[in-house]
Amino acid sequence: MRSRYSAYVLGLQDYLLATWAAETRPSSLDIHTPPQPRWLGLEVKRHKEDGDEATVEFVARHKINGRAHRLHEVSRFVRRDGRWYYIDGEFPATS
């Protein structure tokens, strides 16, 4: 999760696609389209590993055009050949 967050911060689209599970990976990714977020930090709230599957709940903070935002997601990962791949994520309801 931390490496994918860092890839978003650095604009490394190829890395993001390479760490995305083939069955859910988009054919392309454009993270350079304006407006560009200014990433402020990542907080991993919890993680659970169960064999070759894992979930990670995180909050990534960023600003777009000076306005603060939070991305709260519970992501699913799968390990294949010793490497972790992002499958998908859900956005928990906020109360």
* Position 63 in a domain: yes
Residue 95: pLDDT above 60? Answer: no
pLDDT, tens digit, for every residue of 3-22?
999 999 999 999 999 999 99
**34-93: pLDDT as tens digits:** 999 999 999 999 999 999 999 999 999 999 999 999 999 999 999 999 999 999 999 998
The structure's pTM equals 0.91
Range of the domain at 40: 2-90
Instruction: Identify whether 95 is part of a domain.
Output: no
Query: Is residue 23 included in any domain, yes or no?
Result: yes
- Give the model's pLDDT for residue 77: 98
Number of domains in the chain: 1
Instruction: Flag whether 44 is in a domain.
Output: yes
The CATH number assigned to the domain holding 6 equals 3.10.450.50
Q: Would you say the C-alpha torsion 61, 64, 68, 70 has a positive or negative sign?
A: negative
Give 1's pLDDT tier (boundaries 50, 70, 90): confident
Partnered with residue 41 across adjacent β-strands are 61
**35 closest CA partner among 66, 3, 14:** 66
In a domain, 38, yes or no: yes
Whether residue 75 lies inside any domain: the answer is yes
